[in-house]
Amino acid sequence: MSFPNTTKAPRADFPDLRKHNNCMASALTPGIYARLRDKTTPNNWTLDQCIQTGVDNPGHPFIKTVGMVAGDEETYEVFAELFDPVIKDRHNGYDPRTMKHPTDLDITSGFFDERYVLSSRVRTGRSIRGLSLPPACTRSERREVERVVVTALAGLKGDLTGRYYSLGDMSEREQQQLIDEHFLFDKPVSPLLTAAGMARDWPDARGIWHNNEKNFLIWINEEDHTRVISMEKGGNMKRVFERFCRGLKQVERLIQERGWEFMWNERLGYILTCPSNLGTGLRAGVHIRLPLLSKDARFKKILDNLRLQKRGTGGVDTAATGDTFDISNLDRLGKSEVELVQLVIDGVNYLIECEKRLERGQDIKIPSPVPQFRK
């Protein structure tokens, strides 16, 4: 949308980013802003809309945020001049102009010591091609996403048989129960989401689907059209990932039967709202107790070299309580799903080894850095 009666000169509208620390603020220059400001995607999504969340949220206490979102699939093309450097910055030098992203959803091994690992989880997101993304979507588009996905999920069978719970119809008690079990998404209070318009019309067309065993879940219309989650207590990451891949493939088949498909391309992999989730959109992680290692001064460096990230057990905007951490892969783009999960498996096993060594009074080593993309 333009603001016709003001500022013809882009310079006058350029945001003040001097106190900002996010990827968008690092990449956006007056030159780029001037060239892109008056462009729109076919759905009329604009640059100002992409960056609003980054302008409104200068920084985050725990992580360097991206500071911009896509309104639709075409955003990544029309505003490539800004998105490409941001993607490169966020994804460790991955260059969308020259590189290709590999997709691979067939697993290998992975069991963890359950004295340390309390639970294992893999999540990703998927967008339905042809419908705008959460920052931009209209109410009808959002309702259409819900319809398409819920219809498809009704076709899942066996251990994946399940049920849909619309957020609007759920009782407060059901909702609190699902939050406590780490199943449900938060009411949108994070300014990162609200400033990007993702909470509009809440709770219209939002909901959660899960199988009867509550180890395969789909969030509908939160930060992405869908978030797909496989999880269970304990350390059997292999089973978690196997179910993840199987479920994901079945859902894809079911929507394709009705003429829909996921947003994906060779350059960027799976297209999601936040550039940080491009590629695999995959976050594989565990809740793990590391009382000794977490107090060791080398903890951060070890995580960095293993390409792992720590969060609190409440998710991205929380701090760790006690000695229990959420440890997951940092990367999303440039490595396949299998590679990333393997990385988590190897990394978490290394962390457990370190914890055991510290228990025994032995010393630990910082591992050498895991290599970046295959060239």
Partner 1 sequence: MPFGNTHNNFKLNYKVEEEFPDLSKHNNHMAKVLSKEVYGKLRDKQTPSGYTLDDVIQTGVDNPGHPFIMTVGCVAGDEESYEVFKDLLDPVISDRHGGYKPTDKHKTDLNHENLKGGDDLDPNYVLSSRVRTGRSIKGFTLPPHNSRGERRIIERLSIEALNSLDGEFKGKYYPLKTMTDAEQEQLIADHFLFDKPVSPLLTCAGMARDWPDGRGIWHNENKTFLVWVNEEDHLRVISMQKGGNMREVFRRFCVGLQKIEEIFKKHDHGFMWNEHLGYILTCPSNLGTGLRGGVHVKLPKLSTHPKFEEILTRLRLQKRGTGGVDTASVGGVFDISNADRLGSSEVEQVQLVVDGVKLMVEMEKKLEKGESIDSMIPAQK
Annotated binding site for ATP: 119-123, 182, 227, 283-287, 311-316
Contact 189, 317 (CB under 8 A): no
Minimum CB distance to partner 1, residue 226 (Å):
20
CA–CA dist 215, 174 (Å, integer)? 17
Contact 52, 115 (CB under 8 A): no
Q: Is the dihedral of CA 252, 277, 335, 117 positive or negative?
A: negative
Minimum CB distance to partner 1, residue 55 (Å):
5
Nearer to partner 1, 135 or 235 (CB): 135
Please name the residue ranges forming H helices in 47-118: 47-56, 75-78, 80-90
Regarding 204 and contact with partner 1 (CB under 8 A), the answer is yes
Regarding 108 and contact with partner 1 (CB under 8 A), the answer is no
Contact 203, 167 (CB under 8 A): yes
**Which residues inside 237-296 make contact with partner 1, applying CB under 8 A?**
none
Regarding 93 and contact with partner 1 (CB under 8 A), the answer is no
Regarding 138 and contact with partner 1 (CB under 8 A), the answer is yes
Nearer to partner 1, 195 or 358 (CB): 195
Minimum CB distance to partner 1, residue 131 (Å):
11
β-bridge partners, 284: 122
Minimum CB distance to partner 1, residue 73 (Å):
14
Regarding 3 and contact with partner 1 (CB under 8 A), the answer is yes
Nearer to partner 1, 41 or 329 (CB): 41
- Using CB under 8 A, pick the residue from 60, 200, 238, 356 that binds partner 1: 200
CA–CA dist 124, 217 (Å, integer)? 11
Tokens of 31: 């030159």
Nearer to partner 1, 22 or 52 (CB): 52
Regarding 21 and contact with partner 1 (CB under 8 A), the answer is no
Q: Which 3 state secondary structure label does DSSP give 2? A: coil
Which range of residues in 153-161, 193-201, 250-258, 263-271 is near partner 1 by CB under 8 A? 193-201
Regarding 172 and contact with partner 1 (CB under 8 A), the answer is no
Regarding 1 and contact with partner 1 (CB under 8 A), the answer is yes
Binding string to partner 1 for residues 30 to 69, with x set by CB under 8 A, is what? -------------xxxx-xx--x--xx-------------
CA–CA dist 103, 4 (Å, integer)? 44
- Using CB under 8 A, pick the residue from 92, 140, 177, 256 that binds partner 1: 140
Which range of residues in 133-141, 221-229, 259-267, 358-366 is near partner 1 by CB under 8 A? 133-141
Q: Is the dihedral of CA 278, 282, 286, 292 positive or negative?
A: negative
Which range of residues in 151-159, 190-198, 238-246, 301-309 is near partner 1 by CB under 8 A? 190-198
β strands within 92-211, DSSP E: 117-126, 162-166, 207-211
Regarding 143 and contact with partner 1 (CB under 8 A), the answer is yes
SS (H, E, C) 221-267: CCCCCEEEEEEEECCCHHHHHHHHHHHHHHHHHHHHHCCCCECEECC
How far is residue 271 from each of residues 53, 276, 327, 332, measured CA to CA in Å?
19, 10, 24, 12
The contacts of residue 362 (CB under 8 Å, 6+ apart) are: none
| Residue 120 φ then ψ, to 5° | -130, 145
Minimum CB distance to partner 1, residue 209 (Å):
20
Minimum CB distance to partner 1, residue 185 (Å):
17
Regarding 175 and contact with partner 1 (CB under 8 A), the answer is no
Minimum CB distance to partner 1, residue 71 (Å):
8
Regarding 92 and contact with partner 1 (CB under 8 A), the answer is no
Using a 10 angstrom Cβ sphere, with 0-12 exposed, 13-18 middle and 19 or more buried, the burial of residue 116 is buried
* Site residues for partner 1 per CB under 8 A: 1-7, 9, 12-16, 43-46, 48-49, 52, 55-56, 132, 135-136, 138-141, 143, 168, 194-195, 197, 199-202, 204
